[in-house]
């Protein structure tokens, strides 16, 4: 079985919301990327590269990978820093 990675996807920079950023994903690594000669798009003959499994917790994702004998790499997320800003701070500095 190929290697997979377990991670939480990052927030889309084009949107301000945090939807779909709290689910853990198990995604297989792509074995062979080829470039389509007609259109120039990346393509692959491997169907596992299209598979993304969602889990509500990290433990469920790890348990699934271990039960199915999938080698995996766990990518931990960094904690977000929340900076409180006030309009008046623009004039006090």
DSSP 51-64: -EEEESSHHHHHHH
Contact status, residue 7 vs residue 75, Cβ threshold 8 Å = yes
Strands 72-74 and 4-7: parallel
Evaluate if pTM is beyond 0.85: no
Q: Is the pLDDT of residue 80 over 80?
A: no
Residue 65: give its domain's CATH number: 3.30.160
Question: Which domain range does residue 57 map to?
Answer: 4-92
What is the total count of domains within the chain?
1
Give percent above pLDDT 90 in the chain. Answer: 38
pLDDT digits (tens, 9 = 90+) for 13-37: 787 777 767 899 999 987 777 888 8
């Amino acid at each position: 079985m190929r290697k997979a990675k377990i991670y939480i996807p990052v927030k889309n920079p084009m949107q301000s919301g945090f939807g779909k950023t709290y689910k853990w994903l198990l995604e297989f690594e792509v074995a062979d990327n080829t470039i389509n000669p007609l259109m120039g798009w990346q393509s692959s003959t491997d169907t596992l590269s299209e598979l993304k499994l969602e889990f509500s917790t990290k433990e469920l994702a790890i348990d699934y990978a271990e039960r199915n004998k999938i080698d995996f790499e766990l990518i931990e997320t960094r904690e977000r820093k929340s900076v409180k800003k006030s309009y008046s701070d623009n004039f006090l500095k």
